[in-house]
Structure 1
């Protein structure tokens, strides 16, 4: 990957983002217990590329991965907390591509008690704005595992188009999985 610009690196390392009801801060060790509770739920990780976390070491590994993404300039993952401080999930960019392109892969997950309560409807525009403006991305992509209708509908409501079915694109949980490729360009509505 090409080296991110100084402005993009600064945008990755900035402390966080905020919407009316939520604050996003880089995932850190202080999120450990909440992240474990969240990602140990089998229904939460059903369409994700991980098994349910078995212990706090699993949460530590996710945090280390997120910290490494930000340190290298290859992405960022935020903890989502409501204004009262309750953990609501995570969101961010799992990958940023600067060489021969300007794109990022957005990803998100919400704690099950808050499913279908508008968390990502409020947070996703903030994340997209950060990607397009602060990070200077031209294209933002999202991978959705077939069957995750809620995620597909969210992306479509926010101006993403499903461009392809990537057959047997990913391998996790002992098998190959198709992925729906969604994308939104800088000038697309949403």
Structure 2
């Protein structure tokens, strides 16, 4: 069993019966040297610094007691994904209904719009027509005509990456 799988297993008791979920686990470094374990956690209502610190203390203590990496020193970092981290779970999409997203499709196409709804197999993005300058309008008139506008379903299997657009308005 690899380190990432072991860390994921050891985390389970601290996740409040699934209220908190794992977004990402990374274990980098090498045996015999310094190892860095980075864990990103989230919940449907967000996760607090206090929750991350509590889980870090408990898991870190258990890893120390059980000699998780043998004699190799390690650093354990637990935090929330942050606004720049791509959405990866349906639960994250649900929490962001009403927010602006930039979605990159597998074919490289970008779709920008407000997230209207989330289903088991797709999201609905309300795509606004792109505002273009006069020269860009002439140049891209053909491709713009092909781009969808309005409420547009996008299946999860078509999504390469989806990020929430941060607005300071």
TM-score class normalised by the smaller sequence = 0.3 to 0.5
Scaled by the length of structure 1, what TM-score is found?
A: 0.30
TM-score by length of 2: 0.33
Greater gyration radius:
2
